[in-house]
Structure 1
Amino acid sequence: MSLLILAKWLIYVGTALLLGGVAARAWRPDGQPGVRPLALGAGLLLMASAAQVALPLAALGYLTPTDVPAYLQQTVPGRAVLTLLLGTALLLAGALVRWPAWISLAAAGALLWGLGGLGHGAGHGPSVRLLHAAHGGAMAVWLGGVLTLVAWPDGRLAALTRFAPVATACVLVLGVTGMVATWEHAGGVPTLDSRYGRLLLLKLVFVGVTLGVAGLLRRRLAYQGRVDALLSLEVALLSLILAVTASLSVTPTPTHGSVPFGPLLT
Structure 2
Amino acid sequence: MSLLLLAKWLIYLGAALLVGGVAARSWRPDGQPGMRPLALGAGLLLAGSAAQVLLTLHALGYLTLPDVPAYLQQTVPGRAVLTLLLGTALLLAGALARWPTWLCLAAAGTLLWGLGGLGHGATHGPSVRLLHAVHAGAMAVWLGGVLTLVSRPEERLPALARFGPVATVCVLVLGVTGVVASWEHAGGMPTTDSRYGRVLLLKLAFVGAVLVVAGLLRRSLARQRRVDAWLGLELALLSLILAVTASLSVTPTPAHG
Query: TM class, shorter-chain normalised?
Result: over 0.9
1:256 to 2:256 alignment = yes
Cα separation, 2, equivalents of 1:217 and 1:46 = 34
Q: Higher RCO, 1 or 2 (CA under 8 Å, sep at least 6)?
A: 1
1:101 to 2:101 alignment = yes
Residue correspondence of structure 1 range 124-203 to structure 2 within 5 A: 124-203=124-203
SS at match of 1:26: coil
Which amino acid in the other structure matches residue 64 of structure 1? T
> What is the aligned length?
257
SS at match of 1:64: coil
Deviation of 1:48 after TM superposition, in Å, equals 0.4
Deviation of 1:256 after TM superposition, in Å, equals 0.4
Q: Which aligned segments of 4 or more residues in structure 1 are displaced greater than 2 angstroms?
A: none
Identity %: 82
The C-alpha deviation readout for 1:206-257, integer Å capped at 9, x for no partner, is 0000001000100000111111111111111000001000000011111101
Q: Unpaired segments of 5 or more residues in structure 1? A: 258-266
The C-alpha deviation readout for 1:15-48, integer Å capped at 9, x for no partner, is 0000000000000000000000000000000000
Deviation of 1:55 after TM superposition, in Å, equals 0.2
- Which residue pairs with 1:34 in the alignment? 34
- Which residue pairs with 2:245 in the alignment? 245
SS at match of 2:23: helix
Q: Would the aligned equivalents of 2:19 and 2:108 in 1 still touch at CA under 8 Å? A: yes
- Which residue pairs with 1:261 in the alignment? none
Which amino acid in the other structure matches residue 10 of structure 2? L
- Which residue pairs with 2:63 in the alignment? 63
SS at match of 2:26: helix
TM-score (norm 1): 0.96
Which amino acid in the other structure matches residue 202 of structure 2? L
1:50 to 2:50 alignment = yes
SS at match of 1:27: coil
TM-score (norm 2): 0.99
SS at match of 2:190: coil
Q: Would the aligned equivalents of 2:135 and 2:178 in 1 still touch at CA under 8 Å? A: yes
Q: Unpaired segments of 5 or more residues in structure 2? A: none
- Which residue pairs with 1:120 in the alignment? 120
Deviation of 1:188 after TM superposition, in Å, equals 1.0
The C-alpha deviation readout for 1:78-106, integer Å capped at 9, x for no partner, is 00000000000000000001011111100
